[in-house]
């Protein structure tokens, strides 16, 4: 049941029904706000390509990620409730095993102070017991908990149904009123969607926002990623294996193998280079042979300071953005969609490291 907000609800227009736009729209509806979403099937979506992994311990030295103590308890409660509400199954808690690539890394993780650092999320194992026929390393590794993957394709399809049933989703780019190139009506400084005082426009366009004249001053650092769906016959791997590349069990003999990171040719076209890079890394990490079933590419909406872009435009106060989820959308989006809704509806503070007001001087500089 959605709440009825004590103040009069506002009209929110959301551009984009990816991970960011879907969660924001859903939480606004829960707060009794009026929502309309525009999503163009012709514009690529990072969420539909993503592997959907959430993992609180990352990086070469396997350290706890930023705000892990807040983000992970939140998402572990949020997604199962969402599954019930959307009547779909997309949340897959699965452990991640991170084999040690060499003895130096193994030695590093044997020291006590390192173990203390992340003991609530991970434990070190110094031999591979049942994984001997699966991974090439015999040195052991780190077993990480509070991990898994969200099947974003299934989740977004369920959200689409949910929004269509409520009549809030329009499956095309937004219209262009006054003959202008809506939604980019910067010249006339006319608020988009007409002068309805209470209307708020939030862009959740992912990588496309780099072309949005309202927000292209923000320091995006988009990263292309490629991913393969593969078949590994005769093996039943029950965890995500992650070292240089990840291998996610999808059920049956199917697995997802990813991902590449490239900062040029920012498009959604799979390449031979991407495919060979993933195949080579797979062969280094894993023992069983595999066959490729499909190959996809997308662009992650990453940012230079590796923090999301959330908040309102420095000049047009009824225009906002929820973006910059980079390669960690699944972990960041639930917590920060809630925080953004609390900001929009209850005027609560946004975390200073995500609020786009940290770049106001860049906007004033480019104007």
Ligand X SMILES: Cc1cc2nc3c(=O)[nH]c(=O)nc-3n(C[C@H](O)[C@H](O)[C@H](O)COP(=O)(O)OP(=O)(O)OC[C@H]3O[C@@H](n4cnc5c(N)ncnc54)[C@H](O)[C@@H]3O)c2cc1C
Report the residue number, 139 or 152, with the smaller CB distance to ligand X. Answer: 152
Restricting to residues 164-203, name those near ligand X by CB under 6 A: 173-174
Report the residue number, 15 or 122, with the smaller CB distance to ligand X. Answer: 15
Minimum CB separation of residue 149 from ligand X in Å reads 7
Q: Does residue number 243 form part of the binding site for ligand X (CB under 6 A)?
A: no
Q: Does residue number 308 form part of the binding site for ligand X (CB under 6 A)?
A: no
d(CA 96, CA 339): 28
Minimum CB separation of residue 22 from ligand X in Å reads 7
Q: The tokens of 31 are what?
A: 């707060």
What are the backbone angles phi and psi of residue 349, rounded to the nearest 5°? -70, 145
d(CA 256, CA 24): 28
d(CA 345, CA 360): 22
Output b/e per residue, 169-183; b: 16+ Cβ within 10 A.
bbeebbeeeeeeeeb
Single out the residue of 27, 35, 68, 259 in contact with ligand X (rule: CB under 6 A). Answer: 259
Single out the residue of 27, 35, 51, 169 in contact with ligand X (rule: CB under 6 A). Answer: 51
Single out the residue of 75, 204, 344, 356 in contact with ligand X (rule: CB under 6 A). Answer: 204
Per residue, the 3-state secondary structure of 7-19, as one string, reads: CCCCEEEEECCCH
Omega before residue 259 within 30° of 0, cis: yes
277-284: long-range pairs with CB below 8 Å, 24+:
277/226, 278/226, 278/227, 278/228, 278/245, 279/228, 281/244, 281/245, 282/230, 282/245, 282/247, 282/257, 284/136, 284/244
d(CA 313, CA 139): 51
Q: Does residue number 49 form part of the binding site for ligand X (CB under 6 A)?
A: yes
d(CA 337, CA 85): 17
Single out the residue of 99, 141, 258, 270 in contact with ligand X (rule: CB under 6 A). Answer: 258
Q: Does residue number 21 form part of the binding site for ligand X (CB under 6 A)?
A: yes
Q: Does residue number 270 form part of the binding site for ligand X (CB under 6 A)?
A: no
Q: Does residue number 26 form part of the binding site for ligand X (CB under 6 A)?
A: no
Q: Does residue number 328 form part of the binding site for ligand X (CB under 6 A)?
A: yes
Considering only CA atoms, which of 237, 236, 239 is closest in space to residue 95?
A: 239
Report the residue number, 115 or 173, with the smaller CB distance to ligand X. Answer: 173
Q: Does residue number 24 form part of the binding site for ligand X (CB under 6 A)?
A: no
Size of the site for ligand X (CB under 6 A): 41
Q: Does residue number 92 form part of the binding site for ligand X (CB under 6 A)?
A: no
Minimum CB separation of residue 138 from ligand X in Å reads 27
Q: Does residue number 356 form part of the binding site for ligand X (CB under 6 A)?
A: no
CA-CA-CA-CA torsion for 244, 248, 252, 254, nearest 10 degrees?
A: -60
d(CA 24, CA 7): 19
Q: Does residue number 151 form part of the binding site for ligand X (CB under 6 A)?
A: no
β partners of residue 91: 150
Q: Does residue number 311 form part of the binding site for ligand X (CB under 6 A)?
A: no
Q: The tokens of 206 are what?
A: 């992912």
Minimum CB separation of residue 68 from ligand X in Å reads 13
Q: Would you say 168 and 25 are in contact if contact means Cβ atoms under 8 Å apart? A: yes
Q: Does residue number 17 form part of the binding site for ligand X (CB under 6 A)?
A: yes
Helix (H, G, I), strand (E, B) or coil at 69: helix
Single out the residue of 26, 27, 39, 242 in contact with ligand X (rule: CB under 6 A). Answer: 39
Q: Which stretch binds ligand X (CB under 6 A): 45-53, 82-90, 192-200, 311-319?
A: 45-53
Minimum CB separation of residue 110 from ligand X in Å reads 29
Q: Does residue number 20 form part of the binding site for ligand X (CB under 6 A)?
A: yes
Q: Does residue number 215 form part of the binding site for ligand X (CB under 6 A)?
A: no
Q: Does residue number 330 form part of the binding site for ligand X (CB under 6 A)?
A: yes
Report the residue number, 27 or 139, with the smaller CB distance to ligand X. Answer: 27
Contact residues: ligand X, CB under 6 A: 15-21, 38-40, 43, 45-47, 49-53, 173-174, 204-208, 225, 227, 258-259, 298, 300-301, 323, 325-331
């Amino acid at each position: 049941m959605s709440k009825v907000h004590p103040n009069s609800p506002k009209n929110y227009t959301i551009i984009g029904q990816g991970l960011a736009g879907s969660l924001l729209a859903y939480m606004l509806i829960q707060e009794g706000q009026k929502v309309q979403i525009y999503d163009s099937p012709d514009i690529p979506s990072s969420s539909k390509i993503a592997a959907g992994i959430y993992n609180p311990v990352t990086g070469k030295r396997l350290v706890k990620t930023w705000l892990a103590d807040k983000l992970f308890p939140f998402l572990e409660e949020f997604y199962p409730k969402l599954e019930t509400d959307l009547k779909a199954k997309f949340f897959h808690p699965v452990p991640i095993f991170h084999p040690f690539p060499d003895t130096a890394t193994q030695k590093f993780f044997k020291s006590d102070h390192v173990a203390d650092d992340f003991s609530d999320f991970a434990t070190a194992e110094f031999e591979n017991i049942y994984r001997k026929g699966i991974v090439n390393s015999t040195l052991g590794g780190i077993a990480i908990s509070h991990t898994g993957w969200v099947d974003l394709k299934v989740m977004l399809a369920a959200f689409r149904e949910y929004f269509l049933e409520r009549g809030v989703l329009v499956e095309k780019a937004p219209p262009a009123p006054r003959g202008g190139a809506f939604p980019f009506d910067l010249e006339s400084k006319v608020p988009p969607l007409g002068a309805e005082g209470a209307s708020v426009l939030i862009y959740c366009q992912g990588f496309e926002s780099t072309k949005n004249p309202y927000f292209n001053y923000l320091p995006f650092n988009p990263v292309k990623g490629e991913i393969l769906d593969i078949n590994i016959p005769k093996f039943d791997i029950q965890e995500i294996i992650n070292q240089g590349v990840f291998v996610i069990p999808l059920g049956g003999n199917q697995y997802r193998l990813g991902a590449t990171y490239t900062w040029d040719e920012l498009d959604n076209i799979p390449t031979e280079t991407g495919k060979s890079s993933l195949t080579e890394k797979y062969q280094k990490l894993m023992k069983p042979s595999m066959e490729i079933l499909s190959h996809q590419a997308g662009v992650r909406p990453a940012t230079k300071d590796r923090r999301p872009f959330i908040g309102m435009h420095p000049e047009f106060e009824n225009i906002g953005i929820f973006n910059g989820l980079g390669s960690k959308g699944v972990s960041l989006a639930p917590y920060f969609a809630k925080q953004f809704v609390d900001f929009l509806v209850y005027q609560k503070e946004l975390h200073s490291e995500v609020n786009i007001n940290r770049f106001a001087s860049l906007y004033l500089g480019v104007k």
